[in-house]
Amino acid sequence: MASLTAITALGGITACDKTIGGIRIVEIADCCLASLAMRRGKAASFRKAAKKALGTDLPAPGQWTGNDTHGVIWMGPDQFLVEAETGTADLAGGLAASFGGAASITDQSDAWVRFDITGKDVPAMLERLSAADTRLMQGGAAVRTPIHHMLCVLVRRDAYISFTIYGPRASAQSLHHALTATAASL
């Protein structure tokens, strides 16, 4: 087989890491994702399997929960996005085995681009990018909201000014441009 070199969502060999003023924007390339949707009438077995497979409670609407191995983002009613570090052997396959017929699971690793942004000016940057009230988001809050007409997911990881932005991978350059241009304009 040909020797192939993996590239990141932005097309680089290594992930992009930029600091602009008081904001650091890091492309996170080593993250596995899978969507998790409850099947109709399977609420009890779904919640039981989730607790066992993910080791964390499912997040309430507009929330994120996580531990050392998995993060779980609320995406919609009975729908979640599961995060794990690359190296997690077959995330979607493992979840499918754990949930059996209680959930529909799809690998999403190559569907999204992830940027982690940190710095004291992050709230000022986000309020220019999004109509969501990001200043009121507490640690553990997650919202799906448009940024420059791209449907993104904003996750506030903890009490510090540290956000993750997921956006459509096919628009990775556009989203990165939106973030860097806004950071530069502050």
Partner 1 sequence: MIIEHPLLGPRDSQEFTCLGDASLLQRPDAFAGDAADTFFDYQYLRDNPAGTHRELWYHEMGDRSWLVLTRDTRTHEILAVELASDVVTSGGRS
Contacting residues toward partner 1, per CB under 8 A: 40, 61-62, 74-77, 79, 131-132, 143-146, 151
End-to-end CA distance of the chain: 48
Please enumerate in sequence order all residues whose Cβ is within 8 A of that of 186, keeping only pairs 6 or more positions apart, or say none: 21, 22, 23, 121, 124, 125, 128
Distance separating alpha carbons of residues 160 and 15, to the nearest angstrom: 23
- Least Å distance between CB 43 and partner 1? 13
Tokens of 29: 């390339």
22/62 with CB nearer partner 1: 62
- Least Å distance between CB 97 and partner 1? 27
CB distance 98 to 90 below 8 Å: no
44/131 with CB nearer partner 1: 131
100/146 with CB nearer partner 1: 146
Q: Of 179, 147, 144, 185, which is closest to residue 27 (Cα–Cα)?
A: 179
78/85 with CB nearer partner 1: 78
- Least Å distance between CB 117 and partner 1? 20
- Least Å distance between CB 21 and partner 1? 27
Q: What angle do CA 113, 107, 28 make, to 5 degrees?
A: 25
59/119 with CB nearer partner 1: 59
- Least Å distance between CB 144 and partner 1? 5
